[in-house]
Amino acid sequence: MTHGEEPLRFEVLGLLRVVRAGQEVDLGAAKQRAVLAVLLLARNTPVSRGQIIEAVWGDNVPSSAVNLVQTYVAGLRRALEPTRARRAPAELLTSVGDGYLMRIEQGALDLDVFERQVLLANRMRAAGDLAGAAVELDDALALFRAEPLGGVSGLHADVERGRLVERRLAVLEERAELGLAIGQGPELVSQLGSMVVEHPLRERGHGLLMRALVQAGRQAEALAAYREARAVLIEELGVEPGPELRRVHQAVLAGDSPEPERAPVRVPQQQSAPEPAPVTVPAQLPRAPVALIGRDAELAGMDALLRGHDGPVLLVTGPAGVGKTALALHWSHRVREEFPDGQLYVDVHGYDPNREPLEIGEVLNRFLRALGVPAGETPVSVDERSALLRTRLADRRMLVMLDNVRSSADLLPLLPGAPSCVIVTSRRRLVGLVAQVEAKLIELDMLDPDAAVDVLGRIAGRSDIEAGALRSLAELCDGLPLALRIAAARLAVSPRLRVAELVEELQDEHGRLAALGLEDGEGTVRAALDASRRALPAEPSRLLAIVGLHPGADLTPHVVAAMGDVPLIEAQRALDALTAANLLSVSEPGRHFAHDLVRVYTKTLAGELSEPERRAATGRMLDYYLHCADLADGLLPINRGSVLVAPEHRPAHVPLISGPADATAWFDAERANLIAAAELASGSGWHVHAWQLPYTLSRYLWLRTERETSLRLTEAALQAAIALNDDDARFVMQFNLGVALLQFERFEEALQAQQGALETARRKEDVHQQARALTTVAGTLQDLGRHAEAEEHYREAMEISRIAGSKWAEANAHHHLGLLYLSTQRFDDAMPWLRVALRMYHEVGEQCGEAACHTDISTALLETGDTDGALSAARTALAVACDAVSPYHQALAHDRLAAVFERLNAAGAAAHWQRALALFTELGAPEADGVRARLARARAVTVSGAAG
């Protein structure tokens, strides 16, 4: 915004508008408005001139497009900054490289306001304030005034409009979820009924409507709604309802509530009037921190717990240095007026490396003296002191804070009854305290990036010029308040130390913990973590060092059992202990992870192990992943080679993987760990693992269209195979490298790799490998337009496959020869080859090949005018792909079904393209762009037809 001008408000959630001081800004011609839409949606991010041209004109780019973009940008600058001097640089819409950047202040774009309110609603929901969250979502949804990007035409606008509409629908569903949670079902029936009519393929909407009908006492209508939903899904998509919709249906049939289990919504109760203050009113709270940043949600949750319970026990827990004491003290001072009978405080020193924790008798002595009990009248036994404390606190409204508690075993004698409130801080989740007195857990995590930067800025006193470096510093401190304050203190006492220099120092993981220390050695991050580790039993403490060798993002009990060479139950107990001590966190059931600084700490501990210990644990970890990946790979619905995978240390405990769905789910969960393990093996000389792990991953990555990852791993794996001088390994990796290169259309390089694999197979006289290699060579020759050579190679592949008895390779060669004929529009010639391939795929149980073959047969039938046959083949392709649990092949089938429906001028094309787009987008597959364009064109035709 130019200095002195009124602030601008930008609107995309309806008619595209810019408003200044209540007056709408004239945005000029339609194409100029389209340019603005592109820039607004990419706000605060550079957009190249080419991207703008493609978005505004699509395939119909005029020769003067570059000049037109410059003209439109100049027009927008005049409209948005009318008082800017002619030669003065623009402030809002600036030139960056060969493009432009639109600077939008926080809160100036209605889409950003919408997303912020949705985020706030999520936080309120997490804190238990469901009614408040519902109000926030109502306000957010009210920002949608009409169809988004109104008045903007073009394919890009249509695609973005579809995304915004989808986002609104998702939030509408979240609002309905909240409404159901607070009993608003009867009020939601009409709205949800309309939503289901407008969007009949959204299963979640049907489930929400059924639940609302049940809350309204209309169970019969809920069952009818299920029948209608099922009929629509089968008719339009050829699929049965998903598990959630089936769950709701089963609950209604059984007469049970279909609502998922959730924590009860507590209604604040009226507090009783406080008793008159006693003669002795202790006020022992230490000074509160000057500022508490980024803990608004936790403070609100603690306020709600205080209002909703009489005499609550609050347990603030979290990792070392996360700010538990700061939060507890800040809140205690904030509510101290609600405790007129006084505040008691003691630091139990549960994690102090320089002193033993206070004994319970000593804490009772301190509290009794603070309450005016003379030293000579203090009982001898702990039980008697505890009884006297309860007597003194009976019917008095006091706040008791117990700081740095290690164990819940000795806490009970210190706890008064209602109406006093107790707040405990601990690095451990004190399960005993939760079980015995129903303590309410307040779990602290790292600060979010904005709050972390705010902490650094306030303490260090640095200028906005270093804002980018401060954000990098916050990331290196992992949002841990202790680390942030130490880093900020270093900057505050060293004015000549630039933030960028400290960032560079901390980027070295080996020295990061040392760098985050104070001059006197007290309060360092390493010291805090060491204190937490000392409080652990022996086995969790040992395993904490061993898991520092793990290269991946998270851990399971199975891999920890393998690395530590312990039974599964011991690994689980150790992980539970580390999680209870807040050294690890749970990302989802059965999966644990360490925040960045703790991860650096575990790596430091691992480095302190002996070399034999490190190598043995690393080998067991790599063997575990290789063994499990081989098991899962063998269950995927796609053919694989005959590589023998035989790790030296076969793990004693492996997860249950019993079918294609289990195998895919396991790969999905362990994907990042498997990739990290392969990269570790490649960089550390574990050559067998370095090629066999990528081998066991290759089919999964192909199904998930993770092409860049596949290429990177395969290139490294080939180097490992060469280092081993192993021809079997060399063939597999050359073959896989050719496949990976083909996905990037690097045809000449792919051909070179494939011919290398073929030469290796011929040198070994391995007919099975020759058959596979010949088919891939033929496919690449086809891609290069060398059709005669391709056909020759396909036929040779068939002959060698028959000699070798390799039916899968023979089926593959038939399939690809059929595709060769399809690509040259010889549709009738293609059909016999495709049908033979289909039969062979079915015989060998190759479901992915079978699904793809049905899709290709549908293409051939559609092009020859047999629309009924094409529709049947495409539906069969979808059914087989669903059985194979292959989202990629499901997307191909949906895309083909849409094309058939479009040819028939029948309803359903857009729905199938929507489903294909969702699947391809989720996979990150490049096919998504083509589907998105086809869907946008179909919508444009529908709109123009309706207008006519």
Mean pLDDT, rounded, for 851-877: 92
pLDDT computed for residue 355 by the predictor = 67
pLDDT computed for residue 809 by the predictor = 84
Cα–Cα nearest to 404, from 442, 357, 446, 440: 357
Dist. CA 610–CA 751, nearest whole Å: 47
| pLDDT tens, position by position, 13-42 | 989 999 988 888 888 888 888 999 999 988
Percent of the chain residues topping a pLDDT of 70: 93
Supply 581's token pair: 């001590």
Q: Which of 55-59, 538-542, 624-628, 849-853 has the lowest mean pLDDT?
A: 55-59
Q: Which of 440-454, 699-713, 859-873 has the lowest mean pLDDT?
A: 440-454
Q: Up-side HSE of residue 54: CA atoms within 13 Å toward CB?
A: 9
900 contact partners, CB below 8 Å, separation of at least 6: 858, 862, 867, 870, 871, 874
Q: Using an 8 Å Cβ cutoff, are 351 and 427 in contact?
A: yes
| pLDDT tens, position by position, 887-934 | 899 999 999 999 999 998 887 888 888 888 888 887 777 888 888 888
pLDDT at 462 over 80: no
pLDDT computed for residue 58 by the predictor = 80
pLDDT computed for residue 28 by the predictor = 84
Q: Which of 127-141, 704-718, 864-878 has the lowest mean pLDDT?
A: 127-141
Supply 449's token pair: 């990036």
Other C-beta atoms lying within 10 Å of the C-beta of residue 539:
15
| pLDDT tens, position by position, 251-276 | 888 777 888 765 444 433 444 443 44
Q: Quick one: which H or E segment has residue 854? A: helix 847-863
pLDDT at 881 over 50: yes
Cα–Cα nearest to 209, from 258, 171, 256: 258
pTM over 0.85: no
Q: 3-state DSSP: the chain helix, strand, coil percent, rounded to 5?
A: 65, 5, 30
Mean pLDDT, rounded, for 658-679: 90
pLDDT computed for residue 275 by the predictor = 42
pLDDT-derived band at 947 (thresholds 50, 70, 90) equals very low
pLDDT-derived band at 945 (thresholds 50, 70, 90) equals low
Angle in degrees, CA 373, 379, 383, rounded to 5:
115
pLDDT computed for residue 585 by the predictor = 78
Cα–Cα nearest to 124, from 135, 113, 115, 114: 135
Q: Up-side HSE of residue 354: CA atoms within 13 Å toward CB?
A: 5
**Pairing label, strands 99-102, 313-317:** unpaired
Dist. CA 892–CA 856, nearest whole Å: 10
pLDDT computed for residue 265 by the predictor = 45
Q: Strand, coil or helix: what is 899?
A: helix
The residue with greater pLDDT, 509 or 192, is: 192
pLDDT at 948 over 50: no
Q: Using an 8 Å Cβ cutoff, are 422 and 400 in contact?
A: yes
Mean pLDDT, rounded, for 548-577: 92
Other C-beta atoms lying within 10 Å of the C-beta of residue 225:
24
> Whole-number mean pLDDT of the chain?
84
The residue with greater pLDDT, 644 or 693, is: 693
Mean pLDDT, rounded, for 606-623: 94
Dist. CA 349–CA 353, nearest whole Å: 9
Q: Which of 362-366, 428-432, 823-827, 874-878 has the lowest mean pLDDT?
A: 428-432
pLDDT at 174 over 60: yes
Name the DSSP letter for residue 109.
Answer: B
pLDDT computed for residue 751 by the predictor = 93
Dist. CA 404–CA 407, nearest whole Å: 10
**Highest-pLDDT range among 99-103, 243-247, 283-287, 618-622:** 618-622
Dist. CA 781–CA 427, nearest whole Å: 63
Q: What is the dihedral of CA 569, 573, 576, 578, to 10 degrees?
A: -130
Other C-beta atoms lying within 10 Å of the C-beta of residue 134:
22
Dist. CA 356–CA 349, nearest whole Å: 7
Amino acid at 17: R
pLDDT computed for residue 515 by the predictor = 63
Q: Strand, coil or helix: what is 458?
A: helix
